[in-house]
Chains A and B, each alone.
Chain A
Amino acid sequence: MNEQSYIDLYKEHAADINAHGASALNQHREEAFKRWQEMGFPTKKNDHYRHCNFEQELSIDYGLNLKQINLASQTQHLFQCDVPGIQSYLRYVINDTYVQTSDEQLPNGIILCSLREASVSHKELVEQHLNQLAARQNDPFATFNSAYAQDGLFVYVPDGVQMDRPIQLVNLMNASIDFMGNSRNLIVIGKNAKCQVLVCDHASGTPHYFSNRVTEVFIGENSSYEHYKLESTSKQMSNVSSLLIHQSANSSFLGNLITLHNGKTRNNVHIDLNGSGCDCVLCGMVIGDGHQVVDNSTVINHNYPNCHSNELFKYILGESSLGIFNGLLKVQPGAQKTAAYQTNRNLLLSDNADIKTRPQLEIYADDVKCSHGATTGQLDESALFYMRQRGISEEEARLLLMSAFVNDVVENIRIDALKDKIHLLVDKRLRGEKAKCQSCSACK
């Protein structure tokens, strides 16, 4: 479908979209649609999407579930995905439909429900935050999401509450025909609170999928928020996901984006440090082969003084895979005593693998410590020989070196059970095995 089809579809079905959409999303829909109509989907002429546009993928005729028909009964058998040893509050979004799988009440006033439900039951809280970050993004996909998204996950952690377990959100694409999903998540963390979220992106079966997800996160003063995103989908998957973060004073954020199996993925991360004393760690890793394409496009905005940010992205690219890293680190006027570091390191395993890296620093303050750098290379031949001389096979030596290369990204995971699991999944992935969660039938 081309742009015109999505314009026509919207006009024709606006009533359905609104009837089955979260009311708080409906409020912004019309305006977002008009903005998107002007933008259209990005082409390679759009500088931000030069190396990773979705022109070809968007020409596919995807089905949409605009009536938000609940697929829970058909997909019950899929609800086994977990990371063993992780006790989590587990929630599912199938394509773009939030599926109620549990009625458990969370302690201490924590709210965990669909955005649609929250738009009614916590109207003020939702409306106060929803779309505040996305509306400022001049991004075609985020804007398209605001026009089309109908539901997603809502999380609220009240002041002073430290969550005892992580929240795990499984985004699963599951359909019998080519399908598109646009979901929207909103996460609001109060003051002095703590929350960890693990997002698992999966795809089941062989249809072509296009997912376009937006997650807005507000981190209150003195609070800590961790966001882990693990993608293990399929070659037919196009995955655009925007993570938009608002950090208040003295808050701490850790983001870790891990892409193991996919088709074409674009992660847009935009972080605003909107108070002094913030700490921000953003890292990620990519293991690619075949024709995988992974684009991590990140912006970290230092708007206030005395903040610290550290960014680290690592790519291991084999065969004909393509990696893209766009990192913009912006230190605004007045953001003195900023310490900001950005690193992108890449390992190319074949002549056809490619990395486009663009580390950027923009500094408008004069008392700051900033650095950035990108390196691209091959496996260290002398290290390989050294290991082989000790009796380690060439294959095993390569695996050890690759696993060592991404080790520091994995070590940045602060949930021990998840860290162990990711070590295992990375090892399996490097051995060419499917990185499936042990008991997730979606991956089988």
Chain B
Amino acid sequence: MMLEIKDLHASINGKEILKGVNLNVDKGEVHAIMGPNGAGKSTLSAVLTGHPSYTVTQGEVWFNGKNLLEMSPEVRAREGIFLSFQYPVEIPGVSMVNFMRTAVNEHRKYNNLPPLSASDFLRIMREKKELVEMDNKLTNRSVNEGFSGGEKKRNEIFQMAMLEPKLSILDETDSGLDIDALRIVANGVNKLKTSENASLVITHYQRLLDYIVPDFVHVLYNGQIVKTGPKELALELEEKGYDWIKQELV
């Protein structure tokens, strides 16, 4: 099993958000996590990536047999966990090239590989940019600075392509995207899918799942996964809304 989440409880500022999440993800799988606002979707991605604002109060998370909760955020990343941020951060003064080269070489160092030469790095960067149809001028700028919403999301997938993670967590990747940008981003994600990696697609709406087709759909509600089903569950949710789940629980 790639990712095992067992009875995960987490809180922020003393308020418990995750109240016992259980989830297993194996390689080659795409899991969608859906749920109403405030259910804990983004908290789950923050806790899995080690955001310092959240405290895990109970439970375990195992990633390829290693205890994920004991690792710093950067070690989790180097182990192969990638988060496509809902709100990518602008970093003025840090160039995309410098940022990406530092990140790629930190991954390589972790895996006992020598740093990439400048020419190899630029070649790989060129290839990966095409994957998300990213404009050349964007990589010459500071990280996300002045990028439109769509460009930022494309940049996330570009970084994902550069780092080749084992587990990609896509947090509301569809928010703020028009239909063309959504298609490009989803295409990028699909092209990166292999039998060795897995994705956790966190979304509020079903529309993204037309493009990135999940093997499983989970409903997160009030800090717990309350329902799991095949991809058709997403359509059912779209049709009936989340109230249906709430009523079922009562």
Contacts and interface: CB of A to CB of B under 8 A. Distances in A.
Nearest to B80: A391
B172 to A, nearest CB: 16
A392 to B, nearest CB: 5
A396 to B, nearest CB: 6
B114 interface: no
Interface string A182-222: 00000000000000000000000000000000000000000
A401 interface: yes
Contacts, number: 71
Nearest to B144: A386
Contacts of B72: 388, 394
For chain B, the bracket of interface size reads 20 to 34
B106 A391 contact: yes
Contact of B103 (A385, A390, A404): A390
Interface stretch (B56-64, B85-93, B126-134, B218-226): B85-93
B91 A387 contact: yes
Contact of A401 (B49, B73, B91): B91
Nearest to A396: B102
Contacts of A396: 102, 106
The listed residue with most A CB atoms (<10 A of its CB), out of B51, B74, B110, is B74
Nearest to A406: B93
A396 B104 CA distance: 13
Interface residues of A, number: 22
A382 B51 CA distance: 9
A381 B53 CA distance: 10
A393 B91 contact: no
Interface string B17-60: 00000000000000000000000000000000111100000000
A235 B74 CA distance: 36
B107 interface: yes
B154 interface: no
A391 B93 CA distance: 19
Given A400-B98, A401-B94, A391 B88 contact: no
B93 A407 contact: yes
Contact of A391 (B52, B77, B89, B91): B77
B159 interface: yes
A22 to B, nearest CB: 45
B73 A385 contact: yes
A389 B110 contact: no
A389 B106 contact: no
A388 B77 contact: yes
A405 B91 CA distance: 10
Given A385-B51, A387-B99, A404 B93 contact: yes
A7 interface: no
Nearest to A399: B102
Contacts of B103: 387, 390-392
A269 to B, nearest CB: 25
Contacts of A383: 89-91
Contacts of A420: none
Nearest to A404: B93
Contacts of B163: 390-391
Interface in A351-400: 380-383, 385-394, 396, 400
A382 B88 CA distance: 9
Nearest to B159: A390
A391 B74 contact: yes
Contacts of A385: 51-52, 73, 89
Contacts of B49: 389
Contacts of B110: 391
A408 interface: yes
A7 B163 CA distance: 69
A413 B142 CA distance: 20
Nearest to B162: A390
Contacts of B50: 388
B99 A400 contact: yes
11 contacts: A383-B90, A386-B91, A387-B99, A389-B82, A391-B110, A392-B99, A392-B103, A400-B102, A401-B91, A401-B94, A404-B93
- Listed from nearest, the 5 A-B pairs whose CB atoms lie closest are A404-B93, A391-B77, A390-B103, A386-B89, A388-B73
